[in-house]
Amino acid sequence: MRLQNLLTILFVILLANNTILAQNKKTKKADASFDAGEYFKASEMYKKIYTKANTKILKAELSFKLGECFRKMNIPAQSEKWYKKAVKYRFQNPMAVCYLADAYRMNEKYDDAKIEYEKYTELVPDDIRGSNGIKSCNLADESIKNPERYIIENIKEINSKQSDYKPEYFNDYSTLYFTSTREGGVGNSFNNNSGQNFADIFYSTKDRKGKWSEPVPIKGQANSIFDEGACTINLSNTEMYYTSCKLIKNETNGCQIYRSKLNGNLWSTPELIPLIEDSSISVGHPALSPDELSLYFVADLPEGKGGKDIWIAKRISITQPFGKPINLGSPVNTADDETFPYVKKDGTFYFASNGHIGIGGLDIYKLEKNENGEDIVVNLKSPINSSSDDFAIIFENQDEKGYFSSTRPGGKGSDDIYSFELPPILFAIQGIIKNEITTNVIDKAKVKLIGSNGTSLETFSGVDGSFKFKLKPETDYIITTQKDNFLKGKAKESTKGLNKSQTIAIEIFMSPIEKPIEVENIFYDLNKANLRPESEVALDQLVETLNDNSTITIELSAHTDYRGTDESNLNLSQRRAQSVVDYLIKKGIKPERLTAKGYGESVPKTITTKFAQKYSFLKVGDILNKELIDQLATKEQKEEAHQINRRTEFKVLKTDFNESGIQFGE
């Protein structure tokens, strides 16, 4: 019995060992495919091994490797799934936590991402990717809530259900070259690296109506049965640099950069651009400077900063070969990946990265100078950047418009090409001119717009009292209105600091000169004629009105409520009116234009439309005499009526005063 049990135990051990050996053998094959960049093929093999894995240690390892496959293939939903399993099974490499956080962020699960970044920071406190990840989540939240003004559109006529990316202008801005794995290319066979067809360079042309033609492969010898793409074309449209990844059996070859010349409408047989000696290291994503003397490219070289870096090779003239590559270094390159460099015509440098603080996976950045003249990296933010991969931007001439690539949701394929354009900021002012007393609209008033940039425009208000002007950015404006028998109206507006298109709505009130005009917010101490400091704002506005209407002379009147004796009220109101006149003279108004008059309680206020709208217990035409006030319902209403009576007004006496003080006609 004991011998039988022993044999059974030995059989189980042998079976387990054989299973482990078989799994190890299959794992090594899958690892070899992964190391060769065949991520799709490796993922299929890892998944089969995972279904038979019988230890948490092996499941953790396989989960992490599957996460890596889907990360390399840029399928964040799947990478999240497998990294999550790796963390669950306590995979020992802390990068599983970091990559899980990255996947959460790309899937817009920012709260979950922050938790994992915090865990990673505790595990590896010296690695800035943890703290940068948290900052990236905060940036994403803020940027998505407050996007930039760019208009983004999917170019549906160009995009397919496969990958379409890395646009490039050819010949003019109505022809686009781009990389695609769609059917119909020369490399029309399955690629174990991506799980799609091999990529080729296609092109499409836009007609006068803005419609893109059906994309077709470029003509000539540039495309092959292998992967081609990520091209850059010189400004004269005679040479094209592009990436080609040739698979040679039993050889380890990385992608390389080739050059092809245009002969007629055919691209010539490509020639290799030797940039590094080790052909097993991939080199790609070429970007040619406008003067063709600098070639930027991407490579993961041992002497780099980590991950894929952007390098530059220079030459003395366009007939000379490129020299030894130099790493761009900080602030561009990081420990993660920097890809898809691009140089705008004005020399501005753009690139994609997942190593800087960003919204999603790859984000698009540009280099700018700070106030000290140092290079700084600037994120282009939403909506150009998203939680997905955004990369390979190009610009139309110097305009803020062009194309870029993205894996964002809602596209036709895994990678799509999008257009972007920053629309001009448009400003306008739309106003209505109204009667200050009746609030009725005033038609046929002359309206003048004067801008700090020298703008001077005129129009007339319509039958509805309205007018409209277009405005310029970063400009201060004064709007004046004029009509017979009215004081001039005036308003001030500015577009300085405004960063969104808008129409500014205003109302300009004009006071008829045949009736007294109240000067609001004039305050005195109790039973005194001294002006209180807070009255100066209103009086300064009156000074401005008198300066704007320089031909009028006015009577400045003060009024009291009916409480107190007639004599004391009359005396107090006269002194108050004189205080206002004295202030106006002090501010430069000629004494000949001003007459002070105190009326005491003798002219109670007649309620206008404006006051009736403000005080619901009063109606238009009410005269606030003692009889009416005594009939008001509450003490508060009576006190408000007294306050209305205690007022300072002016009325126009003449309209023909000139600067010399001589009346016209004398």
Give the pLDDT of residue 172: 85
pLDDT digits (tens, 9 = 90+) for 324-349: 999 999 999 999 999 999 999 999 99
Give the pLDDT of residue 12: 38
Tokens 């004269």 correspond to: 236
Q: Are residues 286 and 376 in the same domain?
A: yes
Domain assignment present for 10:
no
223, 269 contact by CB (below 8 A): no
Average of pLDDT values for 259-263? Answer: 96
What's the domain range around 460? 427-510
261, 268 contact by CB (below 8 A): yes
Report which of residues 304 and 419 the model is more confident about.
419
Whole-number percent of the chain with pLDDT over 70:
94
In single-letter form, the type of residue at position 106 comes to M
Whole-number percent of the chain with pLDDT over 90:
71
DSSP state of 430: E
DSSP state of 507: E
Domain assignment present for 488:
yes
Contacts of 435 (CB under 8 A, 6+ apart): 441, 442, 486, 509, 510, 512
Report which of residues 99 and 191 the model is more confident about.
99
Q: Determine which of 456-465, 515-524, 560-569 has the lowest per-residue pLDDT on average.
A: 515-524
Q: Are residues 390 and 504 in the same domain?
A: no
pLDDT digits (tens, 9 = 90+) for 383-406: 999 999 999 999 999 899 999 999
Pairwise CA distance, residues 357 & 134, whole Å? 9
Q: Are residues 555 and 575 in the same domain?
A: yes
pLDDT digits (tens, 9 = 90+) for 22-57: 457 778 889 988 988 888 989 999 999 999 888 999
Q: Are residues 303 and 350 in the same domain?
A: yes
Q: Are residues 54 and 196 in the same domain?
A: no
Q: Determine which of 73-77, 253-257, 554-558, 659-663 has the lowest per-residue pLDDT on average.
A: 659-663
Give the pLDDT of residue 249: 65
Q: Which of 465, 490, 510 marks a domain boundary?
A: 510
Give the pLDDT of residue 17: 41
| CATH code where residue 524 lies | 3.30.1330.60
pLDDT band at 662 (very low <50, low <70, confident <90, very high): very low
Count up the domains in the chain and report the number: 4
Give the pLDDT of residue 351: 98
pLDDT digits (tens, 9 = 90+) for 126-165: 998 899 999 999 988 888 888 999 999 999 999 999 999 9
Q: Are residues 505 and 532 in the same domain?
A: no
CB-based burial label for 215 (10 Å; 0-12, 13-18, 19+): buried
Flag whether the pTM goes above 0.75: no
DSSP state of 413: S
Domain assignment present for 629:
no
Give the pLDDT of residue 193: 67
Average of pLDDT values for 225-238? Answer: 94
Average of pLDDT values for 553-581? Answer: 93
